[in-house]
Amino acid sequence: MNHDAYVFAAYAISALVIALTVGWVVFDYRGRKADLATLEAAGVRRRSEEA
Amino acid sequence: MRLVVETLSGERGGETIFAGVSFALGAGEALLVTGPNGAGKTTLMRVIAGLLPAATGTIRFEGGGEAFPDVASALHFLGPVNAMKAALTVRENLEFWQSLAGPRHFQVCDAMDLVDLRRTADLPFGYLSTGQKRRIAIARLYLNYRPLWLLDEPTSGLDADSTAALAHFMREHLGDGGMIVASTHLPLGLDDAQTLEMGG
Amino acid sequence: MNENVATGWSITALANPTRFISIADKVIPWLGGLAALAIAVALWMGFNAPEDYQQGVTVRIMYIHVPFAWLAMFGYSMMAASALGTLVWRHPLADVSVKAAAPIGAAFTLLALVTGSIWGKPMWGTWWVWDARLTSVFVLFLMYLGLIALNRALDDPSRAAKASAVLALIGFVNIPIIKFSVDWWNTLHQPAAVFRMDGPTIHASLLWPLMISALGFTLLFLTLHLMAMRTEILRRRVTAMRRLAARRADKG
Amino acid sequence: MIALFLRDVKLGLRAGGGALVGILFFLAVIAVVPFGVGPDLNLLARIGPAILWIGALLAGLLGLDRLFQADREDGALDVLLVHAPGFNLALAVLVKCLAHWTAAILPLVVASPLLGLFMNMTPQGIGATALTLLVGTPAIAFIGAVGAAVAVALPRGGLLVSVVILPLVIPVLIFGVSAAYAAVNDPDPFLPPFLILAALTLFFAVIGPAAAALALHHGSD
């Protein structure tokens, strides 16, 4: 592999891992939002929200 | 269908715990095993369940046809612990046990309705209270029909109304022609149950 | 660590999770945009700068390797600071910060290792050399994984908070010791003439893209960290509500 | 039985499960060796396969004592014994071993090429080691099941399992490492040790669960 290939490989892997990290953070966030929505729909109120 | 036990004796660690136990149970009948702690109640239950080898005597299950050829295939065993995984949700636990124990009887949702815990289906089992966990453990018995219920200290850790609920399920099972052998200290309101006093 | 407990402590602006989330919702898009912009500018400048006289084009990997190595350290220091927050000031969100930062820090540390080994390949002929810096970053990576494993093992947040805070602090205190011992271990066996990666002085034209790139990735780290903290708060809220639902199931 | 497999894999990977700990232990063991042995690359390359195998072996034994202990504590083991008498108890144990292998040991095999780089091994060496690990490590789970079943009644049976099982696993280690080395230095043949390794795994796949089932049946107190 000549030198350019190394540079490309480094950037490619970095882009991939960063994309995975960002993707996972967003996916995790959406998942918990969905859990929260289903729980709210099921009529579960948090203690601090009750009258 | 009849459960016949003749001159049964069990031992643990080489020492005979109980001996000469004989009784017979027909459809719709229950046997309450009482006695002080260490009298061998749990050992007797485990011997009948086949978890422990019997020292002497025989255990026969007659009239089960090909659905319940022997004792092991005809019984449900419920020990003092609930046999459920805290990390899995209630539904996952019940579905697992249903898939393992042969022909289905109640659907998982109906079994949960029976114990009035349908809402906890998707909650992790670990989040339930002791009484709720016990009722889910009982719900497991409804997943696959087995005529004989072996309940080893079923009321351990239950409050008054959970115990009443348990007695209700037991009466219902007897009403359906089932048989129950339960080791317990509380009179579970089963009026015509035979009792077996385990000696000290 | 649920809501009504937090109100008892001295309220700094971020102490209240609900307010933290509203602030985070506003800040995150801006921070993310800025990070992307800075990285883009840095890479564009980097690729137009003259090649390094010795290494040729592979020096371009430096623009991402150095920021990643810096972020590996930055991430762990942030976790150590948050750990102090948990243990000393009992800040309710400190534990959330530690738990959120661990996986992101680990990801950047992994990137530092990967880009470091790729950068080293042409010079040393093998993918991995037990060079002092690479080895200490590898040990740091193990410490990150240990922290993540601890956080995953103890699922009850309050109990895990103290434990992971202590581990983060102990880890942080050990970093200089590890750095020194690895250097010593390295010079002990390796012939001293190891090719120094970055030259004594970096040429200005290479320095600027490096600085901007470091800034960009740091902003990216902070964005991800804020998002992960927000998610962690939501996860704890979901757990609290599920326990509530279980208790409610009887009365309903 | 499939449900048992899925349940155990799910449990292994969930928060409290032991899978992640196994991988971390494997990584730590491999990472520690160069610090002890020194960063001399060709020395590391020579001992690479052996270190990977020993690491996988120890990591494999790590999670074994929880194989039946967890079920026994929450009563699931009793119900399993009641519902799966005789033959399909051995089958249930086989399924549990496979689930443990998939959740805890398979990730090790997948990670071994990456760690091979740390040991500066040749790509051919890495490939051979990974292949031998893939074929050999299930044997560890099957033999380990016997140890776990025997030690299920003991409260702190954990370490006992590893000690009891270690001598039984030595053949697997010997053939695994020799196959891995054979691939690297040419004169030695690769196939014979590799096939014996595969035979060992199949052999223990039958003997292990059967013996474990027997132990479980008579061991339950």
Where do the structural domains in chain C lie, given as residue ranges?
18-245
Which residues, in sequence order, are CB contacts of C199 under 8 Å at separation 6+? C52, C54
CA distances in angstroms from C40 to B3, C34, C49, listed in the order given: 80, 10, 14
Residue numbers in B near D73 (CB within 8 A): 81
Residues in chain D, how many? Answer: 221
Which ranges constitute the DSSP H helices of chain C? 3-6, 17-48, 62-84, 94-124, 132-153, 157-189, 204-251
* D41 CB within 8 Å of a chain C CB: yes
In chain C, what is the greatest distance between 2 CA atoms, to the nearest angstrom?
A: 76
Question: Which residues share a beta bridge with B124?
Answer: B89
For chains D and A, tell me whether 3 or more CB atom pairs sit within 8 A of each other: no
**A41: closest CA of chain C, how far (Å):** 12
Nearest CA in chain C to D121: C126
Question: What does the alpha-carbon distance between residue C73 and residue B156 come to, in Å, rounded to a whole number?
Answer: 53
Residue C80: pLDDT band (50, 70, 90) is very high
Question: What does the alpha-carbon distance between residue B117 and residue B37 come to, in Å, rounded to a whole number?
Answer: 32
Check A6 against C234: CB less than 8 A apart.
no
Check A13 against C111: CB less than 8 A apart.
yes
Six token digits for residue C20: 């933290």
CA distances in angstroms from D138 to B146, C140, D62, D154, D195, listed in the order given: 37, 32, 14, 25, 14
Domain holding A29, by residue range, is: 1-33
Q: What is the pLDDT of residues D126-178, one digit of tens each?
A: 898 999 999 999 999 998 888 888 887 776 666 777 888 888 888 888 888 88
Six token digits for residue C187: 């010079």
Nearest CA in chain C to D25: C146
- 8 Å CB contact between D75 and B82: yes
In chain D, what is the greatest distance between 2 CA atoms, to the nearest angstrom?
A: 57
Decide if pLDDT at D41 tops 50. Answer: yes
Task: Provide the mean pLDDT of chain D.
Answer: 84
Residues in chain B, how many? Answer: 200
* D87 CB within 8 Å of a chain B CB: no
Buried/exposed code over D156-179 (b: 16+ C-beta within 10 A; e: otherwise): ebbeebbebbeebbebbbebbbbb
Which of D77, D194, D62 lies closest to D128 in space, CA to CA?
Answer: D194
Our count of domains for chain B comes to 1
Domain holding B25, by residue range, is: 2-197
Q: What is the pLDDT of residues C20-66, one digit of tens each?
A: 888 888 888 999 999 999 888 888 887 777 666 666 677 778 788 88
ipTM of the complex, rounded to two decimals:
0.74
Our count of domains for chain A comes to 1
Residue numbers in A near C3 (CB within 8 A): 46-48
pTM flag (> 0.95):
no
| C 224-243 → B contacts, CB under 8 A | 242-243
Q: Would you say residue A39 lies in a domain?
A: no
CA atoms within 13 A on the CB side of B4: 9
Where do the structural domains in chain D lie, given as residue ranges?
2-219
The three state secondary structure string of D78-139 is: HHHHHHCCCHHHHHHHHHHHHHHHHHHHHHHHHHHHHHHHHCCCCHHHHHHHHHHHHHHHHH
| pLDDT computed for residue C204 by the predictor | 66
Which residues, in sequence order, are CB contacts of D215 under 8 Å at separation 6+? D146, D149, D150, D152
* C245 CB within 8 Å of a chain B CB: yes
Check C57 against A4: CB less than 8 A apart.
yes
* Test the C interface: residue of A1, A4, A14, A27 with most C CBs within 10 Å: A14
- 8 Å CB contact between D87 and B72: no
Decide if pLDDT at B131 tops 50. Answer: yes
Residue numbers in C near A4 (CB within 8 A): 57
Question: Of the given ranges (C22-36, C95-109, D50-64, D177-191), which has the lowest mean pLDDT?
Answer: D177-191
Mean pLDDT of all residues in C147-164? 79
CB-neighbour burial class of residue A2 (10 A; exposed 0-12, middle 13-18, buried 19+): exposed
CATH of the domain at B81: 3.40.50.300
* Cβ-nearest to D82 among B12, B50, B80: B50
